[in-house]
Structure 1
């Protein structure tokens, strides 16, 4: 859980920094519009930073009422960022993570779908794209594993491709999906590739143990 939180937090911070650069490198419109747009981008980034802090705080608190309150406030910050920058995938991702923490996985999945839709996804780096695909696959399985496992596999296969097979989380989740689909050899291959990348991966070890020789 702690490792997942750190990965998600690092993902959010990296997304914010990359997107700030992307926004400021875009072709400038007329001067007045550029000034307004710069102000909006600055305000949007400020909401995203505050929302990320609230989400981190929500995950660090054991009392559920406080966790829920911070998560709700993170969603408010994400919505304010989206009102200023509707195409910013970082805001959709922040909202998805907060909704997921509150247990609203269907709504979280919709937000993640928005982050990965065209043209939003074009603003993501390859690494950010991979992390978002892995998270969306996780949400699909949480919402309805039986109906969405094939769709989750598509996301995870794409995540493995984009990461050139170097993302342990994607490989382990893909292994679990293949295991649920009773595709034993493919599941073992995915878990073994994850183990080769991260020899201490508990999820990969457990997956191989379940599948047996």
Structure 2
């Protein structure tokens, strides 16, 4: 076979291979994207259902509350299995465990949610709310030993803001009060009242501290 013909055949073969590769790559990439998207959608469904169950648990009588909390935990685990890097299901899991009375396990779940790189997926306000909850759990499981650790979370939570900012200020005030830091405690309780003027906990804190 003449060298020119061999060269032409080689070029034709290479061109055909490149054409197939170019056509195939987008389909493979799209297939992977669709798989990831389906997993994300399914994870979000479990998360949304779990959040609804958690809200129902908070307003139900004890027996039904426990049943709803267990179901919320199941949905959180399902969502986590589909999106293991998503901190949302870990926060949901922590809240469900807390309602079930498993405070140490709930705190560990929040530790994971707030660890790198997961924490980068949380908005500042979401991170603030998660820090407040973790501080609550730290104080509930071992108040005396964990005051300083809870303080760190609460100072950061106040800086970040969130729907529980008033609670963060109140807990901060209680921590300062326990450490004998009277003026700092008063400032924290006053901060809570600026955020939520009707805060009973803040008023009680200021009453305890006196003028």
State the TM-score, normalizing by the size of structure 2: 0.83
Aligned to 1:80: 78
Q: Please name the residue that 1:67 is paired with.
A: 65
Tell me the secondary structure at the aligned position of residue 30 of structure 1. helix
Structure 1 alignment gaps of length 5 or more: 1-28
**Which residue is 1:89 aligned to?**
87
Cα distance, 1:162 vs. partner?
1.8
Structure 2: how far apart are the matches of 1:73 and 1:142?
Answer: 24
CA distance in structure 2 between the partners assigned to 1:202 and 1:60 by the alignment: 21
Residues 6-17 of structure 1 mapped to structure 2, 5 A cutoff: none
Q: Which protein is bigger by CA-based radius of gyration? A: 2
Q: State the alpha-carbon separation in 2 of the partners of residues 98 and 90 from structure 1.
A: 12
Following TM superposition, by how much is the alpha carbon of 1:197 offset from its aligned partner in structure 2, in angstroms?
Answer: 2.6
Q: What is the aligned partner in structure 2 of residue 169 from structure 1?
A: 167
Give the secondary structure class of the aligned counterpart of 2:197: coil
Q: Note if 1:43 corresponds to 2:42.
A: yes
SS of 1:182's equivalent in the other structure is: coil
Match of 1:86, SS state, is coil
Displacement after TM superposition at 1:70 (Å): 1.1
Deviations 1:175-195 (A, max 9, x none): 011111111111011111222
**Aligned residue number for residue 141 of structure 2:** 143
Q: Distance in 2 between matches of 1:35 and 1:195?
A: 48
Distance 2:210 2:39 in 1: 55
Give the Cα–Cα distance (whole angstroms) in 2 for the partners of residues 101 and 46 of structure 1: 21
Shift of the 198–65 alpha-carbon distance from structure 1 to 2, 3 Å rule, reads closer
How many Å apart are 1:80 and its aligned residue?
A: 0.5
Q: 1:182-197 to 2 correspondence within 5 Å?
A: 182-197=180-195
Q: Which deviates more from structure 2 when the two are superposed, residues 189-198 or residues 104-113?
A: 189-198
- Partner deviation per Cα, 1:68-93 (whole Å, 9 max, x = no partner): 11111111110010100001111001
Shift of 1:65: 2.0
Helix, strand or coil for the counterpart of 2:81?
Answer: helix
Q: After TM superposition, where is structure 1 displaced by more than 3 Å over at least 4 residues in a row?
A: none
Partner residue, 1:113: 111
Gaps of 5+ in 2: 1-27
What is the aligned residue count? 183
Residue 135 of structure 1: CA displacement? 0.6
CA distance in 2, matches of 1:187, 1:52: 34
Matches of 2:132 and 2:52, distance apart in 1: 22
Query: 1:117 aligns to what SS in structure 2?
Result: coil
Match of 2:178 in 1: 180
